[in-house]
């Protein structure tokens, strides 16, 4: 556009004078946007300067970049609209990645398995913006902001990371997707139905019994303080209970193996009691005793006792859910600590579908747009005995297929295992962990995984499912970092409209990460296997030469062997070697 003509020279000189006469950095960027897209950095720095602290200073590279972005967003020298202006953060990507990883750790937050929040307008924050903005999963904070910042600062000191400021930290947690963990509802269906809603039913039943007592009996109702006791029990289960759980403990209520196994090694010899845990039985017992003392028809008593039975069953389901989640998590951490060279641990999960979008576009244009299904596997391994545990991420995505069924999961796992083997030939075996969603926990995938060694050269030893909402690992924070990398790529003036843009946008930005597209050949998709009876109760699948040993919990109990002959009757022939 600009040449060496006298007219163009006069235009540049005029803009240069306007640039030098203003003290506003925003106005300088606006002026520069008239010529920045058409001239190189050297020419711009030679012609545009301003006074700073009594000295003449040329325009900076950062200012030139902002001017070019201003041109793409608003046009040459146009005034920026308020809604499109964004604050500039003096925070490095490394600091942000560390903060995101910290906030996604199980010690800090619980991520809802189904609840989302709209992080737009006044409900957004700088932290929700770098995580992708828009609709995001709800993160329940286990501590208040002051305690979280103290934990974050201590973690930074331990690892040598530079922390962000307290105010910036607090402001990041103001988005709508950050909730204080004061209720069980929202974490997962079990926590909502058997936890929060069940305690509501208990309180309503207590009110009903007190009313019955006042109308038909004399004296004070025996359960006058039952709601306060239930509130204390609820708070204990939500907080300290999980911290008291151990694989073996002298208190039966805290001994996970005794609670989960039909034949625990510790037997029935537990000499200690926990008053807080005993309250679950005492509350139910007091409710039943109160019903027995009511002056009412036997039919009414039977109805009330039936309600008490439902409350007791749901309470047991919720507590079992907490115990299983802690046990599975401990098994995973123990396996990581005992990791040997040649063996790897993989954690797989899906990212929320990634939307293709331009650098700047109205929100209304995003409806109905194509999205990419992204599947990731976090790999943990050691190169030598006693050496450091190394982490690697393999992210696969399909640009044209977003149906997340067993075949999609199998295709992604196969490609990730192939890539892992090509990069690390010394790895010969693998333990795989995932959530218990239907795209992983199904008969077809469990049976198909028997042939992983034949297809990739890596033998699968075990496939375990985390309990709902209890399997949060660094993979969750990795997805947030991946989104942040793509947003940084877009801020540099790029669009993300296809698979190549995803690969280019993450190249060199994510250490130890391999991102590559896959083609899902739906024409070759085999028929699904017949449903394996009782598969919903299993959470651990050990692959042996004779078949698959299935257990409810990882490596706990003898399990049940399903022979290859039996599994072959469930699977269609084309399920293998597709």
**Confidence grade of residue 286 (pLDDT, cut at 50, 70, 90):** very high
pLDDT band, very low/low/confident/very high, at 365 (cuts 50, 70, 90): very low
**Contact (Cβ atoms closer than 8 angstroms) between residue 120 and residue 134:** yes
Burial degree of 523 (CB within 10 A; 0-12, 13-18, 19+):
exposed
For 16-42, the pLDDT digits (tens) are 888 888 878 888 888 888 888 888 888
| Confidence check: pLDDT of 574 > 70 | no
What local confidence, expressed as pLDDT, does residue 279 receive? 93
Res. 483: pLDDT tops 70: yes
* Global confidence as pTM: 0.69
pLDDT band for position 205 (cuts 50, 70, 90): very high
Average pLDDT over residues 299-304: 91
> DSSP letters of 393-417?
EEEEEESS----SHHHHHHHHHHHH
pLDDT in tens, 525-539: 888 888 888 888 898
- What secondary structure letter does DSSP report for 233? H
Note the pLDDT tens digit of each residue in 84-142. 444 445 667 678 778 887 887 777 887 765 577 888 777 888 888 766 667 777 788 87
Q: Give the model's confidence band at 578: pLDDT under 50 very low, under 70 low, under 90 confident, else very high.
A: very low
Pairwise CA distance, residues 577 & 447, whole Å: 12
User: What is the pLDDT at residue 113?
Assistant: 58
Q: Is the pLDDT of residue 509 over 60?
A: yes
Q: Computed from CA positions of residues 537, 539, 540, 541, in that sequence, does the dihedral angle turn out positive or negative?
A: positive
φ, ψ (nearest 5 deg) of residue 394: -120, 105
* 495-499 mean pLDDT: 78
Mean pLDDT in the chain?
83
Strand (E) or helix (H) holding 170: helix 166-172
Residue 572: band (very low, low, confident or very high) from pLDDT cuts 50, 70, 90: low
d(CA 527, CA 461): 25
pLDDT tops 70 at residue 489 = yes
> What is the DSSP code string of 441-475?
SSHHHHHHGGGHHHHHS-EEEEEEEPPTT----HH
pLDDT, one tens digit per residue, over 127-175 is 887 666 677 777 888 788 888 999 999 989 988 888 888 988 988 888 8
């Amino acid at each position: 556009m600009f040449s060496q003509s006298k007219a163009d020279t006069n235009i540049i000189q005029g803009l240069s004078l306007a640039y030098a006469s203003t003290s506003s950095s925003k106005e300088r960027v606006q002026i520069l946007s008239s010529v920045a897209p058409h001239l190189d950095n050297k020419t711009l720095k030679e012609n545009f300067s301003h006074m700073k602290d009594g000295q003449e200073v040329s325009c900076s590279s950062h200012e030139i970049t902002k001017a070019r972005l201003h041109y793409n967003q608003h046009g040459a020298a146009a005034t920026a609209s308020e809604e499109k202006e964004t604050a500039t953060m003096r925070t490095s990507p490394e600091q942000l990645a560390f903060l995101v990883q910290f906030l996604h750790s199980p010690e800090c937050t619980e991520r809802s398995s189904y609840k989302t929040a709209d992080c737009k307008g006044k409900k957004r924050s700088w932290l929700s913006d770098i995580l992708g903005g828009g609709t995001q999963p709800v993160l329940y904070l286990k501590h208040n902001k002051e305690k979280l910042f103290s934990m974050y600062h201590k973690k930074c000191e331990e690892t040598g990371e530079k922390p962000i400021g307290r105010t910036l930290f607090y402001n990041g947690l103001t988005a709508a997707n950050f909730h204080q963990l004061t209720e069980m509802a929202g974490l997962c269906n079990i926590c909502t139905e058997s936890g929060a809603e069940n305690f509501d039913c208990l309180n309503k039943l207590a009110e009903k019994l007190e009313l019955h007592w006042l109308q038909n009996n004399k004296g004070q109702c025996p359960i006058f303080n039952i709601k306060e006791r239930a509130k204390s029990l609820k708070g204990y289960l939500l907080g300290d209970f999980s911290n008291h759980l151990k694989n073996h403990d002298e208190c039966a209520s805290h001994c996970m193996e005794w609670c989960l196994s039909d034949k625990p090694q510790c037997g029935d010899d537990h000499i200690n009691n926990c008053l807080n845990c005993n309250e679950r039985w005492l509350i139910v017992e007091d409710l039943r005793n109160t019903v027995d003392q009511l002056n009412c028809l036997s039919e009414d008593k039977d109805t009330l006792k039936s309600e008490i039975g439902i409350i007791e069953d749901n309470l047991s389901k919720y507590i079992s859910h907490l115990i299983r989640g802690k046990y599975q998590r401990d098994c995973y951490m123990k396996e990581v600590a005992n990791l040997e060279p040649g063996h790897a641990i993989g954690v797989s999960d899906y990212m929320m579908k990634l939307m293709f979008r331009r650098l700047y576009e109205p929100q209304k244009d995003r409806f109905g747009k194509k999205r990419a299904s992204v599947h990731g596997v976090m790999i943990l391994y050691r190169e030598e005995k006693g050496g450091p545990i190394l982490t690697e991420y393999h992210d696969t995505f399909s640009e044209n297929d977003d149906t997340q069924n067993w075949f999609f999961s199998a295709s992604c796992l196969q490609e990730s295992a192939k890539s892992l083997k090509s990069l690390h030939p010394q790895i010969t075996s693998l333990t795989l962990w995932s959530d218990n969603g239907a795209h992983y926990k199904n008969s077809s995938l469990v049976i198909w995984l028997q042939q992983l060694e034949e297809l990739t050269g890596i033998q699968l030893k075990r496939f375990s499912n985390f309990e709902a909402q209890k399997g949060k690992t660094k993979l969750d924070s990795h997805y947030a970092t991946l989104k942040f990398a793509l947003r940084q790529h877009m801020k540099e003036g790029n669009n993300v409209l296809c698979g190549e843009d995803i690969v280019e946008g993450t190249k060199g930005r994510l250490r130890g990460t391999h991102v590559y597209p896959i083609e899902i050949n739906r024409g070759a998709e085999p028929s699904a296997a017949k449903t394996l009876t009782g598969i919903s109760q299993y959470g651990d699948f050990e692959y042996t030469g004779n078949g698959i040993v299935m257990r409810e919990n990882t490596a706990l109990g003898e399990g049940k062997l399903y022979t290859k002959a039996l599994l072959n009757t469930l699977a269609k022939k084309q399920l293998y070697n597709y």
